[in-house]
Structure 1
Amino acid sequence: MKQPIAITGRSAISSMGTDQAEFAEARHNLTFDRKLNTWVGKLPENLQKAVKNLQNSTRNYQSLDPSVLYAMYTARETVAQAGWQKGADFGINIGSSRGATQLFEQYYSDFLKEDKSSTLASPTTTLGNISSWVAQDLQNNGPDISHSITCSTALHALLNGVAWLQAGMCDKFLVGGSEAALTPFTIAQMQAMKTYSRASANSNFPCLAFDLKKTENTMVLGEGSASVCLEIGEMPNALAYVAGVGYATEKLKHAVSISAEAECFQKSMQMAIADADSPSIDAVVMHAPGTMLGDSSEFKAINAIFGENMPLLTTNKWKIGHTFGASGLLSLDLAIYMLQTQQFVDVPFVSPQAKFKKLDTVLVNAVGFGGNAVSILLRKA
């Protein structure tokens, strides 16, 4: 890393709400949806109301998909914390795996009934819709980028922000991910792949993310958004620093597969550690989606890298579900919380790990369909 990248603002919304202290609670924030007949990670009612108020604040926002509104909500909070002014010079890169899922399905359903499309169907369902509307809301002067790299989307946005800053093309960058895909069709797709949790409505932990002893897949889909403000160099208001970045893509044997020892993760973690020149990693926030292969392969990759010097391992998906394109930044938010509070947040149904040690560095992992792995190394501010 040529220069450290300071994180000067953060905001996140999920089924956990907005309070970072909720990370430490040994209970999940998933709900059993009777209409969908399965577990999901929904935003709590107070947040749904706040997002609805944002949507109704101006006529132009009333036609926007929740994925866009979630991103706008967290973006406002993030830049306010960083002290960035509306109309300032900064770039934006906020991505999504699925994009405007709810609107797209609604418009297509209407098309099948009426044999014609709504005027706003195209502009409100394009993937670039997210960053474009965030840019309109914040009136920034700078590049506005949207993209999808499935479940590693948010961390790829962070990679892009780092690259622009290190290249001297921007001084500040807002990056993030947003997802609002709790729809019957999306969940049916996950169930068709046999990755979705089949836990009963009274299950204590419907998503057994990072439980290597589970005998079936337990992924649960969640919704949410997260973003951070990046600035180059040491900053007095830094929450944490991006010390190293890594990325890799492995050769696939199947469209949704990952190798038994997650070669892509081994490469991305090694790159991030080398980039930071930091052989000592205190904790890893795993991608760990709650699937048998996904969890075990990532664990094997971590073991291959660290061996006897295994860092503390955790994940948040057992608590809030897998939020697809937003998941990487929500994991990063957990890492920031642990660095700031010096409190390691473990997974309640996993065996206790090594004795607590000071948290100076936390590695955050994400991977998506296509074997696209990203590892971001944070250090304490």
Structure 2
Amino acid sequence: MSTPISITSIASISPLGASLKEIGKAYRTSDHHFRQKEFNGNLEWVAPLSEEIRAEVTQLKQSTAHYKMLDDSVLFAIYAARKAIIDADWQSENDFGINIGSSRGATTLFEKYHEDFITHKKAATLASPTTTLGNISSWVAHDLNSRGPEISHSITCSTALHSLLNGVAWLRSGMAERFLVGGSEAPLTPFTLAQMRALKIYSSVPSAPFNDQDIEVGERSQSYPCRALDFSKTQNAMVLGEAASMACLEKGVSEKTLAVVEGLGYATEILEHNVSISTDAKCFQRSMAMALGKLRPEEIDVVVMHAPGTVKGDRSEFTAIQKVFCNKIPFLTTNKWKVGHTFGASGLLSIEMAILMLQQQEVIKVPYTDEFQTPSKIKKVMVNAVGFGGNAVSVLLSI
């Protein structure tokens, strides 16, 4: 890439916490962040925000009359975006663009409004404006008083990385100097859970006390509702989580730089099925090869996999990595065993995870997997994401 693009801050709100210090600490434990809650009369594993963070979101919701009608997906985005621009020292700058996406959008409000419509045969006044996908970026722009372009989109689970891709394109075109990019998702709703159940990809791991102190590595995965990156599993084990994550992008490299976007790749493959990619994930092969550019595969130290926790999804991505990296497989990891699949926000949570590894020079391991060699130094990390539609994105970060 001819013009260096830096990530100068990253902020998120997730079950892991709301500060990089708190999130880094959470990653250093082998605990997951799942709880069982009742949906449609059934107990389901989910990864919700902590009660403390939820209270802060509620306070934000009640801070002004306009915000009381907003969906959690919008409130999560506002919360994380405020933190991101403060950390990037953009408080007095408002000439930046915004691109925030979401896979599902305003799920809670949409389900509520639709239920009311079925009951009363009449739509609420704000049903349309508060459930449009553009609602996310426009309200963040309003909250931050920004003057640049504002974009919202949905490209399913690769949405957040497509936001980053788009932000880089705007910066390199010269049409913007700064861009706030990210994804936000609040999918813990009855209808969303029912959709995942209908696809037969959701975790059915029974409730059990979590204590891995005396469990061998090969058996430990049974304590985890989501077994992402467990290539020996025979049942799908995806679990949903809620989150928002935002990154500030700027041209050049400075003392604020957390990581440099060294390579970008993207690809879409012709699907054989509506919800699954090919067994060797051709879209990932092409996106990773594009992100590598002229670099040798052995120069990549870590790959943060998309790895949703499904049997076919995890295996196909691993097969693609084997084809691209051959016998030089990097250290492989993911965060979905701990925080679940946050759909449109997941890619930026993986970027945050990659930045933590680059900054701390320590890999974040999946506790029930020990087959990948730990690198002596972490200089380059590749992050993958893909969603329904076979739309893969790979981002290469370096320090």
TM-score by length of 1: 0.98
Instruction: Measure, in 1, the Cα distance between the counterparts of 2:246 and 2:295.
Output: 22
Q: Do 1:86 and 1:138's aligned partners in 2 also have CA atoms closer than 8 Å? A: no
Q: Which residue of 1 aligns with 2:52?
A: 46
What secondary structure sits across from 1:83 in the alignment?
coil
| Equivalent residue in structure 2 for 1:255, among 267, 274, 291 | 274
SS of 1:309's partner is coil
Greater shift after overlay, 230-239 or 288-297? Answer: 230-239
Q: Which runs of 5+ in 1 are unaligned?
A: none
Residue 95 of structure 1 is matched in structure 2 by 101
Distance 1:148 1:26, change over 3 A: same
2:299 is matched with 280
Q: Alignment length, in residue pairs? A: 380
SS of residue paired to 2:326? helix
Kept after mapping to 1: 8 A contact 2:99/2:150: yes
Cα distance in 2 for residues equivalent to 1:122 and 1:228 = 28
User: 1:12 deviation in Å?
Assistant: 1.0
Who is 1:37 aligned against?
Answer: 43
Choose the corresponding residue for 1:26, options 24, 30, 37: 30
Alignment check: 8 A CA contact 1:20 1:337 kept: no
* 1:20 positional shift: 2.1
Query: Which residues of 2 match residues 353-372 of structure 1 at below 5 A?
Result: 353-372=372-391
Give a deviation string over 1:306-325, Cα, whole Å, max 9, x none: 11111000000010000000
**Structure-to-structure mapping, 1:219-238, within 5 angstroms:** 219-238=238-257
2:64 match = 58
**Offset of residue 351 of structure 1:** 2.4
Say whether the 8 Å CA contact 1:210–1:295 is kept in structure 2. yes
Correspondence for 1:8:
8
1:309 & 1:353 partners in 2: Cα distance? Answer: 11
Q: Counterparts of 1:55 and 1:277 in 2: how far apart (Å)? A: 48
Q: Deviations over 1:91-135 (max 9, x none)?
A: 000000000000000000011111101101000000000000000
Alpha-carbon distance between aligned partners in 2 of 1:352 and 1:292, rounded to the nearest angstrom: 18
Query: Could you list the per-position Cα deviations for residues 198-217 of structure 1 after superposition, in whole angstroms to 9, with x for gaps in the alignment?
Result: 01111620000000000110
Whether the aligned pair in 2 keeps the contact of 1:196 and 1:218 (CA below 8 Å) is yes
Q: Say whether residues 1:146 and 2:136 are aligned partners.
A: no
Separation in structure 1 between the aligned mates of residue 258 and residue 165 of structure 2, nearest angstrom: 18
Asked if the contact 1:150–1:325 (Cα under 8 Å) also holds between the matched residues in 2, the reply is yes
CA contact (8 A) 1:273 1:279 kept: no
Q: 1:368 to 1:126 in 2, by over 3 A?
A: same
Tell me what 2:235 maps to: 216
1:85 deviates by 2.0
Match of 1:174 in 2: 180
In the alignment, does 2:82 pair up with 1:76?
A: yes
Give the SS at the match of 1:37. strand
Does residue 299 (structure 1) correspond to residue 318 (structure 2)? The answer is yes
Secondary structure in 2 matching 1:106? helix
Question: CA contact under 8 A between 2:104 and 2:344: conserved in structure 1?
Answer: yes
Residue 356 of structure 1 deviates from its aligned partner by 3.3
Do the aligned residues in 2 keep the contact of 1:285 with 1:365 (CA within 8 Å)? yes
What's the % identity of the aligned pairs?
Answer: 56
| Structure 1: 4+ residue segments shifted above 3 A | 275-279
After superposition, give the CA deviation of every residue in 1:57-114 in whole Å (9 maximum; x if it has no partner). Answer: 1111110000000000000000000000255100000000000000000000011111
If the length of structure 2 is used for normalisation, what is the TM-score? Answer: 0.93
Whether 1:377 aligns to 2:381 is no
3-state SS, counterpart of residue 327 of structure 2 = helix
Aligned equivalents of 2:355, 2:66: Cα separation in 1: 34
Kept after mapping to 2: 8 A contact 1:335/1:362: yes
Task: State the distance in 1 between where 2:162 and 2:348 align.
Answer: 10
